[in-house]
């Protein structure tokens, strides 16, 4: 009997190549010296290309592959006002000659006018997306329903819309981009003869975290994958990752290599909430920039760097930690008022 590959049918699924791959792994000697603990590396998934890059480009390769297979001509997506996923979807749609309708949800309380105009919002408009607003940031079901209404209207106009889903209850197709990223990473480590003890990644929708964890476990990599919560508490995020991993196995038609105990998440950098900075994150943004010229955003990778620094200081120097830089650099400009204050006092 033919044995099922450890990554199942990954290579037979529809895929639209969008990303610049492989992304490099870089040493961070200056930040390592400043932290005085574990050796720190970074995988530059902010360098995936396509409209400022980021982790969502890997995910969209599978969504756009399915959309093209269905002969869709319009992409729809919902997300936060400064969503990297929304901006990336608008870019992917433009690259593939499709229209794009985006819905921006109010997830951050009392945002500045800069937040509403700059960063990813400006890029959405430059990319030609039609922008809608949704008043709640914590109503996934309602946001999905509204997006469905827009899709039905487009269908009545003769369009063929494809919705990129973000809420639970849908197959996590985008997570397959990070199952493939795990394969890429394992190959890079093997080629460089480098070992990694801990991998740290932002954990929001959960697709990047779950896909990476699933792929690494399936390929026999012993590195722990540590998810840093950026939107919800660890108590709520862990079950989400566990569920994603089960659904990835179903998508790929292979056994699930992830045990519940493999899902590691922390939320100590989350307060005061999604898209809002705290001192540890602000300090991490400045330290990454001033030691390694590494630009990290306040929402995702800034929190990852803050958590990594804290963990690295508790580890011996013979341990190695790898940060997954998931991008998000356009959002830095949306936080200009807060970051000006931070950099002036840092």
Please state the length of the chain.
346
The mean pLDDT value for 39-55 works out to: 98
Confidence of residue 342 (pLDDT cuts 50, 70, 90): confident
Dihedrals phi, psi of 178, to nearest 5 degrees: -95, -15
For 133, the enclosing helix (H) or strand (E) is strand 130-134
Residue 108 to residues 105, 112, 231, 325: CA-CA distances in angstroms?
9, 10, 11, 22
For 225, the enclosing helix (H) or strand (E) is strand 224-229
80-131 tens-digit pLDDT: 999 999 999 999 999 999 999 999 999 999 899 999 999 999 999 999 999 9
* pLDDT given for residue 1 in this prediction: 34
* pLDDT given for residue 65 in this prediction: 98
pTM across the whole model: 0.96
The mean pLDDT value for 240-268 works out to: 97
Confidence of residue 346 (pLDDT cuts 50, 70, 90): low
Other beta carbons less than 10 A from residue 52's beta carbon:
21
CATH 3.40.50.150 fits 10-53+172-345, yes or no: no
Query: Residue 3 gets which letter from DSSP?
Result: P
- With H, G, I as helix, E, B as strand and everything else as coil, classify residue 104: strand
- With H, G, I as helix, E, B as strand and everything else as coil, classify residue 219: coil
The CATH topology of domain 57-164 is Rossmann fold (3.40.50)
Residues near 259 by Cβ (< 8 Å), separated by ≥ 6?
Answer: none
Q: Which of 83, 118, 205, 207 is catalytic?
A: 83
83 is catalytic: yes
Q: Do domains 10-53+172-345 and 57-164 have the same CATH topology?
A: yes
Contact 138, 107 (CB under 8 A): yes
Say yes or no to pLDDT of 310 above 50.
yes
CA 112, distance to chain mean position in Å, is 24
- Listed by start position, the domains of the chain span 10-53+172-345, 57-164
Q: Are strands 198-203 and 320-325 parallel, antiparallel or unpaired?
A: parallel
138-173 tens-digit pLDDT: 888 899 999 999 999 999 999 999 999 887 778 999
* pLDDT given for residue 343 in this prediction: 80
CA gap 198, 218 in Å, rounded: 17
Helix, strand, coil percent content, the chain, rounded in steps of 5: 45, 15, 40
């Amino acid at each position: 009997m033919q044995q099922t590959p450890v990554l199942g049918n990954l290579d037979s699924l529809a895929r639209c190549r969008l990303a610049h791959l492989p992304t490099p792994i870089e040493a961070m000697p200056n930040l390592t010296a400043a932290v005085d603990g574990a050796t720190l590396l970074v995988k530059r998934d902010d360098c995936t290309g396509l409209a400022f890059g980021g982790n969502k480009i890997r995910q969209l390769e599978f969504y756009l592959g399915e959309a093209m297979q269905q002969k869709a001509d319009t992409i729809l997506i919902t997300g936060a006002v400064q969503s990297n996923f929304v901006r990336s979807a608008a870019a992917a749609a433009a690259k593939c000659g499709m229209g794009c309708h985006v819905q921006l949800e109010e997830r951050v309380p009392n945002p500045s006018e800069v937040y509403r105009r700059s960063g990813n919002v400006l890029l959405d408009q430059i990319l030609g997306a039609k922008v809608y607003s949704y008043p709640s940031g914590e109503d996934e079901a309602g946001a999905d329903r509204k997006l469905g209404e827009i899709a039905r209207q487009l269908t009545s106009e003769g369009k063929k819309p494809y919705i990129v889903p973000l809420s639970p209850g849908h197959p996590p197709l985008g997570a397959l981009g990070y199952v493939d990223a795990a394969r890429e990473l394992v190959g890079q480590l093997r080629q460089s003869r480098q070992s990694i003890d801990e991998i740290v990644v932002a954990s929001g929708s959960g697709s990047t975290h779950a896909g990476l964890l699933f792929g690494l476990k399936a390929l026999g990599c012993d590195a722990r994958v540590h998810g840093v919560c950026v939107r919800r508490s660890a108590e709520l995020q862990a079950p989400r990752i566990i569920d994603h991993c089960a659904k990835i196995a179903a998508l790929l038609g292979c056994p699930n290599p992830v045990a519940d105990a493999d899902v590691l998440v922390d939320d100590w950098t989350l307060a005061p909430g999604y898209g809002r900075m705290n001192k540890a994150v602000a300090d991490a943004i400045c330290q990454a920039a001033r030691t390694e010229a590494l630009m990290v955003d306040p929402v995702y990778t800034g929190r990852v760097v803050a958590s990594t620094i804290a963990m690295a200081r508790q580890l011996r120097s013979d341990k190695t930690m790898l940060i997954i830089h998931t991008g998000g650099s356009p959002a830095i400009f949306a936080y200009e008022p807060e970051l000006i204050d931070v950099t002036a006092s840092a």
